[in-house]
Chains A and B, each alone.
Chain A
């Protein structure tokens, strides 16, 4: 961009159109503008780029897609957070009743049966819960039998 007038820098003109010059500077530049076609042209061009860009952006229609999509997302997120908070209060292994019962049974078998001599000779119950996972809608427990060393996978799905 060629500028013949050397009285005001381009940055000053930019600040002028944004109202960022002091009131004295502003008055003085306004007076200058009435006599300088070069600076007036730059003011017009600077203003026009902001105007055209703002108009182009304003024409972009968003529609109602955001509101519609988010309605469902928010409801889902609220429900999930409510489920989570109620799940946290249900103690060991979460809210799944079957998994709780299975866990208690397994602990009882491991804890009490070794005191039975017959069982020590010929163990038939599980030796240990290898792992248990309690997800939101399903639970899995892995148990290993003592004698055969078989792995039992206990899967429970919430209905």
Chain B
């Protein structure tokens, strides 16, 4: 069934921000439905935990509700939301690192073989198994990356940001982005090769 186009679909970002500043519930619901998936993926890339990512994204939207008056529209709404999400994720990580949760792997992550099956083109069980193993190892490898390297990698791989955009988001030099991204990739490949042997 084709989706009906409402006024909500045609609203500009400027109008949305104005409505958010007026604390209109409709505007907040629109914001949530427009950005929740995207922010969830980013949060998941950093936390690697579905439940924690859901909490982080909820906190992001609540933070937006409380602080929307401070948003001066010098950057886009997406950029502002991305920065809040990263900040919330890092706070989450620091909080849980103290509780030894950072290296925890969730049960759903252990049991997602069927989900993997649905999304791969090759249905050969051996290939599927090898791909699943590679993916598991990669997720383990990502957990071992230093925080900044990992963030740079996540912003590049998930958000598809350029070096310039990552540099602005994380307040680091463009050259640093290049070296951290290269270090992250090299560490991941090294980890995978070590586990392949």
Interface residues of A (CB under 8 A from B): 1, 10-11, 14-15, 18-20, 45-46, 49-50, 52-60, 62, 65-67, 69-71, 73-75, 77-78, 81
Report B-chain residues with C-beta under 8 Å of the C-beta of A10: 182, 185-186
Q: Which B residues, 86 to 121, have Cβ-Cβ distances below 8 Å to chain A? A: 112, 115-116, 119
Among residues of B, the one whose C-beta sits closest to the C-beta of A69 is: B58
Q: Does B170 have its Cβ within 8 Å of any Cβ on chain A?
A: no
Stretch at the interface among B33-41, B71-79, B122-130: B33-41
Q: Which residues of B contact A (CB under 8 A)?
A: 23, 25, 28-29, 32-33, 36-37, 40-41, 44-45, 50, 53-54, 57-58, 61-62, 65, 112, 115-116, 119, 134-135, 138-139, 142, 153, 156-158, 162-163, 178-179, 181-182, 185-186, 188-190, 192-193
| Among A14, A45, A57, A78, contact of B181 (Cβ-Cβ < 8 Å) | A14
Our pick among A19, A62, A71, A78 for the contact of B23 (Cβ within 8 Å) is A78
Question: In the assembled complex, which residues on chain A have CB atoms less than 8 Å from the CB atom of B115?
Answer: 59
Complex Cα distance A43/B142, Å? Answer: 19
Classify the interface of chain B: helix, strand, loop or mixed.
helix
B23, B32, B65, B181: the one contacting A67 at CB < 8 Å is: B32
Nearest first, the 7 A-B pairs at minimum CB distance are: A14-B182, A11-B182, A50-B157, A62-B40, A74-B28, A49-B188, A66-B36
Q: In the complex, A52 Cα to B17 Cα: how many Å? A: 35
Inter-chain contact B32/A57, CB cutoff 8 Å: no
B178 and A11: CB pair below 8 A? yes
CA A74 to CA B142, docked complex, whole Å: 35
How would you classify the secondary structure of chain A's contact residues: helix, strand, loop or mixed?
Answer: helix
Distance of B155 from chain A, by nearest CB (Å): 11
- Cβ-defined partner of B44 (8 Å) among A50, A57, A65, A66: A57
Would you call A18 and B44 a contact (CB within 8 A)?
Answer: no
Query: In the complex, A99→B71 CA distance in Å?
Result: 40
Distance in angstroms from B130 CB to nearest chain A CB is 12
Is A77's CB under 8 angstroms from B119's CB? Answer: no
A141 to B134, CA, bound (A): 67
User: In the complex, are the beta carbons of A66 and B57 less than 8 A apart?
Assistant: yes
* Contact among B23, B58, B178 for A70, CB-based, below 8 A: B58
| Residue in contact with B163 in the complex, picked from A20, A69, A74, A75, CB distance below 8 Å | A20
